[in-house]
A and B are shown apart, each in its own frame.
Chain A
């Protein structure tokens, strides 16, 4: 098959030939068996591709109908479970299950509260002129690799202890790493200051106490967070639970 013939056949099948061309093609088709075969193959290929790729809304609608009918005709099986009498041992298992569920609701361990309320701040470095070290620290911090983040942040903090951003995330990392005395030093300074991290620092300190089951100090710090600040709602919620 020549390239010309291939294109001509495609145009013929696509209805893209003018009348004269079309007549001419039909004449050729009568005697050219290779061309006949090609036209047949082309049509078959097109059918099969269309079956796969056509945007067929009718088919989508049919599928929806079938799905509905499936639920109607096949789903009732699931409700046909046999009724089984409660054997004594099942009773005891039920009692045990209720106890376990109760234990979960009561949840005497407070670590879960910590996890639930832990600082989920993402460290965002968007200010201009930041060093790439800070970017690196942010990446570690956001991947919860606090040990690695702390190393870099310690350096930056040493250079510029007045930078609130560095201070806050350094303090937060230390909290996560349970180096609480150091963390508190840094964060308390922030909380006493006037930076944007003032109340985030207070919240982080509160949670660090919660982590160590010191509810009194936790409450004390939560109460320092005033209404209208970002952490207020979470702080109040947590206060109620304590």
Chain B
């Protein structure tokens, strides 16, 4: 069952169009909160800035390339994404978090958790594809990289110095190889 899109989808639209005013509004609402969470948890203001930027770019990416649609309010969603990101970063740095994370999350709705979880899963999937891509042969890497840039495929063939027919065939083979690798890595 498809869920209703939340009116806060406008924030995501603003990210997609680089609507500076609305993006500034996001910062006005959330920057202080992200900063206090991160600095309270062994981070610096710079760390907080990085985390917020990363989170917003992740949301942009998934909206643009994976049709992310917001079914929950934006602010708690973004804050939750930032928190998860920072807790992961702390894990990487082998530092124990000090916050009782649950307290301030009590009033966050189930749908927000779900959406943040979904975002994290999609991000993980993207990394998985990147890993599988790295296992391909050099020729396939070249062909796929160029094919995904967004240029017309005829132009890509020209750049790579092959015929369009060859590119098409080779690309489909490389994609099949990648899909197979994903299946294998997943098992």
Q: Is the CB of B153 within 8 A of A62?
A: no
- CB neighbours (8 Å) of A77 from chain B are 44-45
> Cβ of B84 < 8 Å from any Cβ of A?
no
Counting chain B residues whose Cβ lies within 8 A of the other chain, the interface size class is 35 or more
Q: Is the CB of A59 within 8 A of B60?
A: yes
A200 to B171 alpha-carbon distance, docked (Å)? 61
8 Å CB interface, B36-63 against A:
44-46, 48-49, 52-53, 56-57, 60-62
Q: Tell whether A58 pairs with B149 under 8 Å between CB atoms, given A66-B57, A74-B48.
A: no
- CB neighbours (8 Å) of A73 from chain B are 27, 31-32, 35, 49
- CB neighbours (8 Å) of B149 from chain A are 53-55
A63 to B144 alpha-carbon distance, docked (Å)? 25
- Min CB distance, A29 to chain B, in Å? 16
> Cβ of B77 < 8 Å from any Cβ of A?
no
Residues of A contacting B: mostly: helix
- Min CB distance, A12 to chain B, in Å? 10
- CB neighbours (8 Å) of A7 from chain B are 168-169, 172
- CB neighbours (8 Å) of B64 from chain A are 51, 56, 58-59
Q: Is the CB of B150 within 8 A of A10?
A: no
Q: Tell whether A52 pairs with B148 under 8 Å between CB atoms, given A1-B176, A41-B179, A62-B57.
A: yes
> Cβ of A9 < 8 Å from any Cβ of B?
yes
Which B residues have a C-beta under 8 Å from some C-beta of A?
15-18, 20, 23-24, 27, 31-32, 35, 44-46, 48-49, 52-53, 56-57, 60-62, 64-66, 125-126, 129-130, 133, 144-145, 148-151, 153, 168-169, 171-173, 175-176, 178-179, 182-183
- Can you list 22 residue pairs at the A/B interface with Cβ under 8 Å? A3-B173, A6-B173, A9-B172, A10-B171, A11-B172, A47-B65, A49-B133, A49-B178, A50-B65, A50-B148, A51-B66, A52-B126, A53-B145, A58-B18, A59-B57, A61-B18, A63-B53, A66-B52, A66-B53, A70-B52, A73-B27, A75-B49
